[in-house]
Structure 1
Amino acid sequence: MGKFSDSVRNIERNTQSTADSAASAAQSNAATSRAAQSAATGAWVGAGFQAAAAFQSARAAQAAEEQLELQRARNEQDKLHQFAMWSQTPDGVAFVAWRERAVSLAQFLRNREATWLAAWARVIGRAQAETPDAEKHRFLKQPARLKQNGLRIAAILSLVIAALYAVSFTLQIFVANVLPSREPAGGFTYEQCLAQLNDPENFLFSEADCEAISPHASMPATLFPLVFFLGIGVVFLVLRHIRQRAARVDQTVAHEAQLRIERWGFDPLAARPGYTAFTWSQSWNPDEYANQLMQLALHGHVSYPAQSQLIKLAVPKSYPPSQNYPVEVNEVLEKFQHERPSLG
């Protein structure tokens, strides 16, 4: 009976312990669940605040941009309204009527200028085609003959190499004369050889024997390339000077250029793109005049010019054809004599 009672008590204690453990675990799980729910709730609330703040910032930026666009629209509307009101005044009516005619005149003058440039381009092309190839070749080579860049570069390179050898030669001389020299094998030095040479009883050594062991007997190996590159550099400089002088003295290119000028009125080989010997207008510069017209026509709706400020509209008088002008130029000048812009 005693053993049976003990077993029953042991079973009861184990059962109670297991129950207590289960209850404790349940309480712990419940606490963990509440903590997790609380943390999740806090994170959600924080994310919500961040989203709300971002939304408010984006909305404020959008509102500012919309306000700016609205202000721009109002300004444009005000300008349009002001111009509409001003265009009803005598100055405005005069400007509106002048503007259309000014734009047409500016375009007419610019087209005429393009026609003039094209005519001269044909003249230059024909003149260059009729120039002998040998003459063209001499003209193109003349700048190189005067500069002689090849000989200049060769002289510079030679002198630089000579300078490097000069530095090496100087170092070798310094080492041979200043630093202590090593004695030859056997310990017999050049000074000892000279002493033996002066001995009346000497019969073993000669002057050649002493010079053979002299520390100054042989020159550094860099001496020859130093002298060579220095000399060749000087030769290049002298040759460059001679060729430059010959090119300046030779008047063949200058004489041929003068003949081309006498024939064409200009040198077609020296003409740059867009070259014209003269302008087609007898009075004022048509290109600058067209620019002034367009400047006022494009900005007059903002500056509100008075009638007295409007530029007078007129076509510059062109030169008449002449027997001294090229054929292509006379054709264009003949056309300019008869054409007139439509100014309304």
Structure 2
Amino acid sequence: MYQAKQERYDQMVYNRVGNSGIQLSAIGLGLWHNFGSVDAYENQKAIIHQAFDLGITYYDLANNYGPEPGSAEINFGRIMAGDMKSYRDEMFIATKAGYEMWPGPYGDWGSRKSIIASANQSLKRLGLDYVDVFYTHRPDPDTPVQETAAALDQLVREGKTLYVGISNYNGKQTQAITNEFNKLGTPFLIHQPRYNMFNRDVESDLFPVLTKNGKAAVGFSSLSQGLLTNKYLHGIPENSRANKSTSPFLQETQVDQTLKTVAKLNDLATKRGQTLAEMALAWNLRQPAIATVLVGASRPEQLVDNVHALNNLNFTNEELDQIDQILAGQGEISWGKH
């Protein structure tokens, strides 16, 4: 039987989420990949155990994570019902609704019908009475923002989530739904945008809105689907997602155009005494608007490596200027959906 390490909170950094009373681990575990029905269950348990032993408190799911859709929640629920049950109150668990989950007009987007039904299904799969934050996964162009906000507010009042969040909303959309939450008195906690060295548009569009409203963000795609690691320093490995024709997120031509940029960034990381991934995570966390960066893991050791980023979170102005210069000729890469 798993027993958590007593010293699990000693090395982790915890950041306050905007003006709220919540602190989240600077590194969060994303279950987008490696927790589906096609993945080894014992390895999933080992990853969760390692994350918790490292002081990671934030666990990020969505209704459609798998494959198959829903299976990540089912597997996480099994783990919670077993080894992790006694630690529930030390964990901050998130899930979402908004991408296609079941056929027909109610299994997608942000209507009240879709959000409430999805939340009920997620809680059943997770085996939990409530989640800590429930997100609308993306803005719905065909549903009034008032309806989406009211549905999330209802989940709080029914005790199905403690807080609500939004994901993939731009600055204007974020302000619009924030206004609705303020009218309702909804505990709107956090935004989840794509953010990494290759995806920086949110710095000018979204982050000022979050700061103005006393909110914060948890960034996904923190390592740009593995580009900001040592995986591609010497080309595209055969077992990478970039080399699989079924991947809509990483294509060989897209990786090739970034290899020189990645190599230069890696040289700077080496001078800082970090791996490229460690530097990239630390760079994300330099942003005051970012409370947590999400990482994925296919094995426990990857989490140990990622948490090493916290050993050197400070950048000199010269280092930040160098990174900006390296990235200047790269342009923005934006692949896939989350």
Bigger relative contact order (CA 8 A; separation at least 6): 1
Structure with bigger helix share is: 1
Larger Rg belongs to: 1
Q: What TM-score, normalized by structure 1, do the two folds share?
A: 0.17
Structure with bigger strand share is: 2
Q: What TM-score, normalized by structure 2, do the two folds share?
A: 0.17
